[in-house]
Amino acid sequence: MAEERPNVPVFVAPSLHRAGFGLSDVGRKRESNEDAFFVDDPLGLYVVADGMGGHAAGEVASQEAVETVFGMIKRGISELRALVDPVSEHDSRAACRLMESAVQAATYMVFSMAELDHDKAGMGTTISALLVLGDYAITGQVGDSRIYLVHLGVSEQLTEDHTLIAWQIKQGLITEQEARRSPHRNVITRAVGNREYVQVDTRLIALRSGQRFLLCSDGLHGYLRNVDIPPIVARGGPEAVEAFISLANGRGGKDNITAVLVEID
């Protein structure tokens, strides 16, 4: 039997306060920054994208993807109910579908732009997105940017890297030590924009006061150890994201570096 839905506005104010802080840096080796990020506390949306492609195409891909995800979430969120316990399967699936649709729209947008401009052929981007909706958050993931959850002094990687070496480790073909020396470290198996369609990983996360989420490009997490994350996150706000940028630059800064910190209280 279909669930009855009241004929009233369905999106309500969040019961948990969220605050986001973002910073991006070109790093020490690159001439341009192809990363992009987005922070919108009222909407509850946070995104990091790491672009790829020549002729500044990576910069275009990441920015277009971020803007498309934002536009799709902003238009679609009014059709959702805030996720509060006990959360229904219908509502949680609808929220995940919105996230997936937003990333798919970004995929089609970036792919179409590359089709129209041969200088941008093959451009693409990663996407790591977090949408706070009531007492839950939805993550969306394509590529090898990451989302970490930090709570009670413990850091956990929430997303799975869509890379060749991550797949090889998962299949038991190589060890993590071998992966660090692999010549295929930068081979991405999924990206936004290099095809018309991409498989999007989504996940529902129950929120608790005191949780912190770190979204970052591989220019940061390539230098991070799990033990590095909680003490830097504990600094809070702008100081924390600045410290993450400094850490990556201090350890080499070979890529663009982007960090977005979301604080739940």
Kindly report, residue by residue over 236-248, the tens digit of the pLDDT: 999 999 999 999 9
Mean pLDDT of all residues in 83-92: 94
pTM for this predicted structure? 0.91
Mean pLDDT of all residues in 133-161: 97
Does residue 11 have a pLDDT over 60?
no
Q: Which residue has the higher pLDDT, 6 or 233?
A: 233
Q: Do β-strands 45-52 and 127-133 pair in parallel, antiparallel, or remain unpaired?
A: antiparallel
Look at the block and give the residue holding tokens 């150890």: 225
Helix intervals (H) in the chain: 57-76, 89-116, 164-170, 176-180, 218-221, 229-233, 237-250
pLDDT at 186: 72
**For the chain, what is the mean pLDDT?**
91
Mean pLDDT of all residues in 186-208: 94
SS3 187: coil
Query: Which of these ranges, 86-90, 162-166, 213-217, has the smallest mean pLDDT?
Result: 162-166
Distance, in Å, from the CA atom of 94 to the CA atom of 88, rounded to the nearest integer, reads: 10
Does residue 3 have a pLDDT over 60?
no
Radius of gyration of the chain (CA): 18
pLDDT at 187: 81
Half-sphere exposure of 264 (CA within 13 A, CB side): 28
Residue 86 vs residues 92, 97, 138: alpha-carbon distances, Å = 11, 19, 16
Q: What does the pLDDT look like over 96-132, one tens digit per residue?
A: 999 999 999 999 999 999 999 988 988 999 999 999 9
Q: Which two tokens stand for residue 213?
A: 């989420």
pLDDT at 179: 67
pLDDT at 10: 44
Does residue 12 have a pLDDT over 60?
no
Q: What percent of the chain has pLDDT over 70?
A: 92
Q: What does the pLDDT look like over 200-234, one tens digit per residue?
A: 999 999 999 999 999 999 999 999 999 999 999 99
Q: What does the pLDDT look like over 39-60, one tens digit per residue?
A: 999 999 999 999 998 767 999 9
Mean pLDDT of all residues in 190-198: 94
Cβ contact 162:188 at 8 Å: yes
Q: DSSP readout, 157-171?
A: E-S---BHHHHHHHT
Question: Which domains are delineated in the chain?
Answer: 18-264 (3.60.40.10)
pLDDT at 15: 66
pLDDT at 176: 73
